[in-house]
Structure 1
Amino acid sequence: MDNAELAVLLLLALVGLYSPVAAVSSYIPVLQPVDTRQHQRLALGLFVNVAAIAVVTILVGEPLLELLGLSTAALSATGGIALMIAAVPMMLGKSDDPAAGAGDAAIAPPSTSWRSIVFMPLTFPLTVGGATIAVLISFRAQVTGVTGVLALTVAALAYAAITGLCVYVAGHAGRRLSDRARMILDRVAGILLTAIAATLLASGFTRLVVDVLKAMGVR
């Protein structure tokens, strides 16, 4: 699998895990106390936060693995497992929306500034969580060289742009999707995520077996 294909898969995995439709509805109660004139700044602030976290994760992922003595194959498999855990309930229509609960619990007080909510709860936990970090590192483990890192960085920046756009849409569109439409789109995202998770698992476990065989001297 070349770098361009991995970058596309990374973007699809991040967007599927993020679930823009669910994210927009989760942002709405948090954005209500913020003046509509600040929504553009808020969207830009979220883009910067997500981009910074994603790029730093991609850049230091491999050195961190070496420091901790972890196998890149094992981490790829772990990323696949993390995706599978999140994706299967979505695909079956049985997932609870933790983001919505977090949003309801973190609604800012009236007349709040966009700066007071841009990192928490908008960036974390509504946009970036543990599964997102795991996916980024697992994909980073599968590329080598500047070209591969650059391809993943472009995908991460595209993902950050999507999150900023979702905030902007949430601030101006409100809740216009029916529950049924949201359920259908979540299931489509779940199917996509499950397929990507299976790819990561197969790749990671295959490389684990090869590494074990090499360590045993088997060619």
Structure 2
Amino acid sequence: MSEFHWGHALLLFLALFALYSPIAALSSYLPYMEGYTPKEQLRLSLGLFRNVTVLMLLALWVGEPLLELLGISTAALSATGGIALILAAVPMMTGSGSSPPAPDGEAARGPKAPWRSIVFTPLTFPLTFGGTTFGFFVAYRADVAGWKAGIAMTVAGLAYAAVTGITLYLSGHLVRRVSASTAAVLDRVAGILLTAIAVTLIASGGTRLVDDVLNSL
């Protein structure tokens, strides 16, 4: 372990920010925010902030022993997240999961499911906080010791959680300002993006799982 300084916390936040990529995340959130009222979209954003905060605290303070206790690796979390995401993304990419436009040409605004049913999966996991993100927190925390380091890392994690909640909230504002035809195109584009992310998660997690098995032999 190295001696702690605030640069560690800053590096953690910058690494998470780059991994998250708010612009890419915003477009991936759009299909999920469509059909919800502004009040529900705010609740989704606050729910995402809460979930990311809880997962961040778990990763920072008990992440390493928790994974060892459960016998779960971050590679397995990544692969699982990819599987969950691809199940939701493929219907968007093919258009089979889209609601048909209303007769007046406006997009149908009824939510496909209660907002609470999507706030954890897929919005929190795996779109926002997956195995790689969990691993970042565990690895950075393991690199420094002491309660001061833990507090600084927690501040960085809270800043990251705030970024995710704000990004989701902004996607809700954006989706209310697009036409039905534009929304349909965005659904397809987001589906392609999400499917690519899912494949990357599965490939990355699967590769690391195989490496772990080979290293244990």
TM-score under structure 2 normalisation? 0.60
1:84-103 matches, within 5 Å, as 102-103=88-89
Which residue does 2:134 correspond to in 1?
133
The residue type equivalent to 2:5 in the other structure is: N
Aligned CA distance change for structure 1 residues 165 and 138 (closer, same or farther; 3 Å): same
Residue 67 of structure 1: how far off its partner (Å): 6.4
Distance 2:90 2:26 in 1: 13
Correspondence for 1:35? 37
Give 2:11's aligned residue. Answer: 9
Seen in structure 2, the aligned counterparts of structure 1 residues 108 and 49 have a Cα distance that, compared at 3 Å, is farther
Residue pair 2:48, 2:165 contacting (<8 A) in 1 also: yes
User: Aligned in 2, Cα 1:143/1:108: closer, same or farther, shift over 3 Å?
Assistant: farther
SS in 2 for 1:126: helix
Question: Whole-Å Cα distance in 2 between the matches of residues 33 and 58 of structure 1?
Answer: 35
- Give the aligned residue type for 1:16: A
In structure 1, what residue type is equivalent to 2:120?
A: F
Taking a change above 3 Å as real, the CA distance of residues 66 and 124 of structure 1, as seen in their structure-2 partners, is closer
> Any residues of structure 2 matched to 1:11-90 within 5 Å, and which?
11-64=13-66
Measured against aligned partners, the alpha-carbon deviations of 1:100-159 in whole angstroms (never above 9, x if no partner) come to 985564779842322111001100111011111111111011111100000001101110
Q: 1:149 to 1:2 in 2, by over 3 A?
A: same
Q: Give the 3 Å change call, closer, same or farther, for CA 59–10 of structure 1 in structure 2.
A: same
Matches within 5 A, 1:198-213: none
Distance in 1 (alpha carbons) for counterparts of 2:127 and 2:10: 23
| CA spacing shift, 1:58–1:144, aligned 2, 3 Å | same
User: TM-score normalised to the size of structure 1?
Assistant: 0.60
Question: Alpha carbon RMSD of aligned pairs, Å?
Answer: 3.4
Q: C-alpha distance in 1, partners of 2:26/2:47?
A: 16
How far apart are 1:62 and its partner, in Å?
4.5
Give 3-state SS (helix, strand or coil) of 1:43's partner: helix
Name the aligned partner's letter for residue 159 of structure 2: A
The answer to whether 1:150 aligns with 2:151 is: yes
Which residue identity is paired with 1:57? A
Corresponding residue pairs, total: 152
For structure 2, list consecutive stretches of 5 or more residues without a partner in the other structure: 76-83, 100-109, 179-217
- The answer on whether the counterparts of 2:85 and 2:122 sit within 8 Å (CA) in structure 1 is no
Q: Does 1:173 align with 2:178?
A: no
Summarize the Cα distance change of 1:151–1:102 in structure 2 as closer, same or farther, 3 Å threshold. Answer: farther
